[in-house]
Chains A and B, each alone.
Chain A
Amino acid sequence: MSPLAFYPLAFVCIASAMGVVLSRNPVRSALSLVASLFCLAVFYVFLQAHLVAALQIIVYAGAVMVLFLFVITLLNLESDRGLGEKPVLSAIGFGAGAIVAGGLIAALSRTSLGARAVTLVPTFGTTKVLARQLFGDYLVAFELTSMLLLVAVVGAVVLAKRDGSYEGDEQEAAVPARSEEASH
């Protein structure tokens, strides 16, 4: 990837990530996050991870962010006070974040990753190779993720269910009991 493509894209990615944290309006935060995720998908394409890039757009920028926007609009939140309320604590947070970033970059710049030039095989990153690995080496983990998703769906439905609907269930349960009494 040429620097002319990398740096503008990285700038947009970081700027929209900052937008997520700094924006007062939750909807604006969510849309900034979508922009950031799109930039990451472009990076994945340049890194020969085509399937991951497609999944990133479909799963993250599509499904997950729609879920976020749905909840934000459902709750009808007014813009909160953002960072303005406790400026000292916010400044401490940003300072700590800058230290973390500096430390991570200092540690990562000494990595041996990429020091040795690796020639990628022509099939690197194809769906076929990734699928062979997912359904071969990682088969057990793959099946466990299907269990995880099932549990998550059931959990989400149970948690998001209205409390009022339990009364409805009791009423429904009470109706056959009364008809039994009537038949006796």
Chain B
Amino acid sequence: MIGTVHYLALSAVLFSIGAVGAVVRRNVIIIFMSIELMLNAANLAFVAGSNSLGSMNGQSIVFFVMTVAAAEAAVGLAVILALFRNRQTVAADEIALLKW
């Protein structure tokens, strides 16, 4: 029988994959997708907890997380567009304006 722990373990694995992607990859767009993956792992943990406690609060919070993620994606992709227009690159290690 699949219990809450299984869902939490799946959520932990997905979060770790997202964290690795955000650290390892150079492409800013892929880093962004990894962040979305981490947010979704957190959502899965919220929904599993909500189901296990019989409380709807977890599902409400997932709603807010989705809203914030959508806003973040819109602004972030606009930033990437502006960055690409100015620097002609989306590689995170070539964008080092503050490094001296």
Contact = CB atoms under 8 A, between A and B. Distances in A.
Interface of A: 1-3, 6, 10, 13-14, 17-18, 20-21, 26, 29-30, 33, 36-37, 40, 43-44, 47-49, 51-52, 55-56, 59-60, 63-64, 67-68, 71-72, 74-75, 77, 80-83, 85, 89-90, 93-94, 96-98, 100-101, 104-105, 108-109, 111, 113-114, 118-121, 124-125, 129-130, 133-134, 137-138, 141, 145, 148-149, 151-153, 155-157, 159-160, 162-163
Interface of B: 1-10, 12-21, 23-27, 29-30, 32-34, 36-37, 40, 43-44, 47-54, 56-57, 59-60, 62-64, 66-75, 77-82, 84-85, 90-91
A133 B24 contact: no
Contacts of A152: 70-72, 74-75
Contact of A60 (B5, B20, B40, B75): B40
Given A13-B10, A43-B44, A104-B16, A145 B29 contact: no
Query: For chain A, what secondary structure do more than half of its interface residues adopt (helix, strand, loop), or is it mixed?
Result: helix
Contacts, number: 226
B82 to A, nearest CB: 5
Contacts of A64: 36, 69-70, 73
Query: For chain B, what secondary structure do more than half of its interface residues adopt (helix, strand, loop), or is it mixed?
Result: helix
Contact of A48 (B24, B40, B51): B51
Given A49-B59, A118-B52, A145-B67, A68 B32 contact: yes
A80 B56 contact: no
Contacts of A80: 26-27, 91
Nearest to B74: A156
Contacts of B49: 113
Contact of A20 (B34, B51, B71): B34
B56 A130 contact: yes
